[in-house]
Amino acid sequence: MHILTDFEVIPDAFSKYAPEQNKIDGHAVASFPFKVEGIAPGFNYLHIAFTDPDSIPVAGFAWIHWCAANIRVSDASGKASIPEDFSRNMKELSPESCRGKNSLVSRFVGQASSPASSLYIGPTPPDKTHFYLLRVWATQEKLDLKDGFYLSDLLHSLLASGSAPDASSTLKVPQACALLAGRA
């Protein structure tokens, strides 16, 4: 399984340079498009985590930009397309899906009540270009998660479903990772 994008640097439309109509509380909320290919037959759900490990020296933790789970794979060809602005439209596009919390809910950030706290929030590196990890897992069954889950809940659910939710791959739960840049 692998992730395909048309870019290596996250386009401005999906970062701190997004137009104001695509921002909530100053955060870009229109997610970027990507494709997942090589999904084995019988794997019916995708799960997403988009994080910024370069934020550790700046914020004190790896920033979670997006978590989503139970995105139904409807293409039997082993391919899935996650369209632009999927984060805001996922309930219409994939009714079984659920939204996880991002780092706005951290007590260090204090924006838990923001409507953006369960959406994709685009990169806003304050100091230099950061590198971001987009991770996607595939499972045969829907995970036992509800709207408002945390990244740790996703990882525990993947582990319970037979996955190693780290960089290793298992036959039970395939996964892919892409490294993308976001400019300061």
How far apart, in whole angstroms, are the C-alpha atoms of residue 80 and residue 16? 27
Indicate the pTM of the whole model.
Answer: 0.91
List the helix and strand counts (H, then E) for the chain: 3, 10
- Running along the chain, 184 residues long, what does each successive block of 10 average in pLDDT? 94 95 95 95 94 92 96 87 96 96 89 90 91 93 96 93 57 76 80
What three-state secondary structure class fits 66? Answer: strand
pLDDT score at 108: 83
- Phi (first) and psi of residue 121, to 5 degrees: -125, 125
Task: Render pLDDT for 15-67 as a digit per residue (tens, 0 to 9).
Answer: 999 999 999 999 999 999 999 999 988 899 999 999 999 999 988 899 999 99
Q: How many residues does the chain have?
A: 184
How far apart, in whole angstroms, are the C-alpha atoms of residue 141 and residue 147? 17
Which class is domain 2-182? Answer: alpha beta
